[in-house]
Amino acid sequence: MRRVYRDNGYQEVRGPQIMDRTLWERSGHWQNFKDSMFTTESETRDFAIKPMNCPGHILIFNSDLRSYRELPLRYGEFGACHRNEPSGALHGIMRVRAFTQDDGHIFCMPGHIRSECTDFNRIALAVYRDFGFTDVAIKIALRPEKRLGSDDQWDRAEAALREALAACGAEWTELPGEGAFYGPKIEYHLKDSIGRSWQCGTMQVDFQMPGRLGAEYVAEDNTRQVPVMLHRAIVGSLERFIGILIEHHAGAFPVWLAPIQAVVLTITDRQAPYARDVEARLKAAGFRVRADLRNEKITYKIREHSLQKLPVQLIVGDKEMEAKTVAVRTRSGEDLGAMTLESLIARLGDEVTARR
């Protein structure tokens, strides 16, 4: 996800974790969201631990005088947020009080909304495809009854979202009345391998918050204008997304995603130095590997690592040690035979590159 920021014109930033009450009053959170925020105080000032990253990104935007030439300005953060959810609402890693969002904000002019949404749609669908989700339902949530901003602004924003999706050849459904009070949004709902649907990504147009927090830029005609802010996330809460991924893959992650990609198994203690060497060479080649040197029967080790669904098991006995090879076995029990480390590294490298 860090590479996705880098390759698509985002600056990775980090906003303050704790911010003054007056900022949250101006954003409206203190009045409307206070029960869900963790608060603290120091030297008679009240603070809130951020429940979202948006105001922090506006502070970064406001740290300098901005020109229209700098727009669109894209900030991305892996933002640690805290929300004081009722304990009864917590659920494994699917819903936690401390979570991390792949949260980005794009500061732009109204004329940029369409192209930014087109780009975002392409990026989001590519990320979902990499993670193994190909069944993605796209929805546009339209103006609610109670809202801020003029009808003209809403007309243009909703039209920009429709045009952006149409330009991608995407199909979508519309949810009248379900937009946020400050602007319409696109939602991405992923279907997992057992048919459940999860809303993960959003692209939200916001005409209000930048003005409330004093964001402005110098326009081409030298006037001061308030930028439009696009709130966007692809996976949403990383914790929740990891939970969805575990369920979707039933724990059997593809090689590129597996926390441990390969394990080296010795048959007897004699092969321990060679197993360490194999481990070190694979690590040096960039793989996540560990060696299992325990004095257990090889059948026991194979069974245990198969149950853990590690993608690749590398078995080393005397024969492999002498030939400088490893016997390769997949988690499904397929025996790929003896391989040199060079060909193993090439093979694993291909799988990682292709994100198969």
Contact residues for Zn ion, defined by CB under 5 A: 54, 231
Tell how far CA 22 is from the center of its chain: 30
What CA–CA distance (Å, rounded) separates 44 from 144?
39
| Nearest-approach distance from CB 58 to Zn ion, in angstroms | 9
| Nearest-approach distance from CB 103 to Zn ion, in angstroms | 6
DSSP-assigned letters across all residues of 277-294: HHHHHHHHTT--EEEE--
Q: Is 57 a catalytic residue?
A: no
Q: Is 261 a catalytic residue?
A: no
Candidate list 74, 82, 143, 185, residue with the active-site label: 185
CB-nearer residue toward Zn ion: 183 or 243: 183
What CA–CA distance (Å, rounded) separates 291 from 123?
37
Candidate list 66, 143, 231, 301, residue with the active-site label: 231
What CA–CA distance (Å, rounded) separates 260 from 251?
12
| Nearest-approach distance from CB 204 to Zn ion, in angstroms | 7
CB-nearer residue toward Zn ion: 230 or 255: 230
Q: Is 231 a catalytic residue?
A: yes
CB-nearer residue toward Zn ion: 107 or 274: 107
| Nearest-approach distance from CB 123 to Zn ion, in angstroms | 17
According to DSSP, the residues that pair with 47 across neighbouring strands are 20, 40
**Angle 75-79-82 from CA coordinates, rounded to 5°:** 145
CB-nearer residue toward Zn ion: 231 or 248: 231
Candidate list 29, 50, 54, 74, residue with the active-site label: 54
DSSP symbol at 95: B
What CA–CA distance (Å, rounded) separates 185 from 139?
8
Give the number of C-alpha atoms closer than 13 A to the C-alpha of residue 193, restricted to the C-beta side. 12
| Nearest-approach distance from CB 83 to Zn ion, in angstroms | 14
Q: Which residues contact 117 (CB under 8 A, 6 or more apart)?
A: 160, 161, 164, 165, 186, 203, 230
Candidate list 50, 82, 105, 240, residue with the active-site label: 105
Q: Is 294 a catalytic residue?
A: no
CB-nearer residue toward Zn ion: 144 or 349: 144
Q: Is 117 a catalytic residue?
A: no
Candidate list 29, 57, 66, 101, residue with the active-site label: 101
Q: Which of the residues are catalytic?
A: 54, 83, 101, 103, 105, 185, 231
